[in-house]
Amino acid sequence: AKSDGRRTYRFFEAGMDARAKARRGLELELRQAIADGGFELHYQPLLHLEGGTVSCCEALLRWRHPERGMISPADFIPIAEDTGLINDLGHWVLNTACREAVNWPDHVHVAVNVSPIQFKSQTLALNVAAALAASGLAAARLELEITEAVLIRDDEAALDILHQLRELGVRIALDDFGTGYSSLSYLQRFPFDKIKIDRAFIKDLGATGASSTIVQAVVNIAAASDMTTTAEGVETEQQRTMLRLLGCTEMQGYLFSRPVSGAEIRRLLSSDCEK
């Protein structure tokens, strides 16, 4: 039994070594891609549930790998965060999204995801101000999506950064609400402009009573504090109908559109405006 244990351990070690190597390889490729322009942004529209017009488009990062094709952010963002590369990447995302959004109709906002690491770097407000100035985008058209992770530790510092951003005139959305350590108390501590309700709650809408009760509670709290709500991952007409009944403000999901390229979003927005 003892030797079996040791053999298992050695296999485990070899597995770790391979994984560490793969990770190191990916890190080098990430660095290269930042330098070579290997990244692109795709955009997914958010729609008003009443009226159905597009209010905002969320920028979603894509890595076009020379051999492996499109790589999902879920596979490389964690590595970019561990290595600190997320700061350069986040800076690129912010600037690219602002430059794209100046081409859109004035009423359409652009939403940019901000990693907790980027958030803690202390230069976020400075970078945001620089991206707005360089692109000429009105601050009120930029929405920064942050997750609750930034609020968990170091509350005072986080609130300070949020207030700096608010002073610039940008909007702040709480992303993935309802996952992780999510707590309604965060909503009282900082006045977000928007709450994005995680897909986990939208998926079951209609099927069970529990999700609709939760969505209703979030919508009510948001309305009482002048925040809007966005339902993430809306895929069916039934979900859309439920969300309208519940009084949710916006929807985002495959039902209306997947994330699309910059050229496609411009086409989509120009036809949306003709309606």
* Residues engaged in binding Ca ion (CB under 5 A): 113, 145, 175-176, 232
Task: State which of residues 30, 44, 55, 85 lies at the interface with ligand C2E (CB under 6 A).
Answer: 44
**The one segment of 3-11, 15-23, 71-79, 151-159 that binds ligand C2E by CB under 6 A:** 71-79
User: How does DSSP classify residue 44?
Assistant: E
Task: State which of residues 100, 143, 148, 175 lies at the interface with ligand C2E (CB under 6 A).
Answer: 175
Give the Cβ contact number of residue 152 at 10 Å. 14
**The one segment of 99-107, 158-166, 206-214, 227-235 that binds ligand C2E by CB under 6 A:** 227-235
Comparing C-alpha atoms, which of 56, 109, 63, 110 is closest to residue 86?
A: 63
For ligand C2E, the closer of residues 259 and 262 by Cβ is 259
Q: What are phi and psi of 233, to 5 degrees?
A: 70, 40
For ligand C2E, the closer of residues 4 and 237 by Cβ is 237
Report what 116 binds from Ca ion, ligand C2E, none; CB cut-off 5-8 Å by kind. Answer: none
For ligand C2E, the closer of residues 29 and 198 by Cβ is 198
Residue 110 Cβ vs ligand C2E, minimum distance, rounded to whole Å: 12
Angle, vertex CA 71, rays to CA 68 and CA 73, nearest 5: 160
Under 8 Å between Cβ of 39 and 65: no
Contact status: 253 vs ligand C2E (CB under 6 A): yes
Angle, vertex CA 75, rays to CA 73 and CA 76, nearest 5: 70
Contact status: 257 vs ligand C2E (CB under 6 A): no
- Which residue is closest to ligand C2E by CB? 253
Residue 217 Cβ vs ligand C2E, minimum distance, rounded to whole Å: 21
Output the 3-class SS for 102-137: CCCCCCCEEEEECCHHHHHCCCHHHHHHHHHHHHCC
Report what 98 binds from ligand C2E, Ca ion, none; CB cut-off 5-8 Å by kind. Answer: none
User: How does DSSP classify residue 38?
Assistant: -
- DSSP string spanning 149-161? HHHHS-HHHHHHH
121 CB contacts (<8 Å, ≥6 apart)? 87
Q: 81-85: list long-range contacts, CB under 8 Å, 24+ apart.
A: 81/115, 81/116, 81/117, 83/27, 83/30, 84/117, 85/27, 85/30, 85/31, 85/34
Contact status: 45 vs ligand C2E (CB under 6 A): no
In the block, which residue shows the tokens 């120009």? Answer: 270
Task: State which of residues 54, 233, 248, 250 lies at the interface with ligand C2E (CB under 6 A).
Answer: 233
**Site size for ligand C2E, by CB under 6 A?**
21
For ligand C2E, the closer of residues 11 and 94 by Cβ is 94
Contact positions vs ligand C2E (CB under 6 A)? 44, 59-61, 72-74, 77, 90, 93, 113, 115, 175-176, 233-235, 252-254, 259
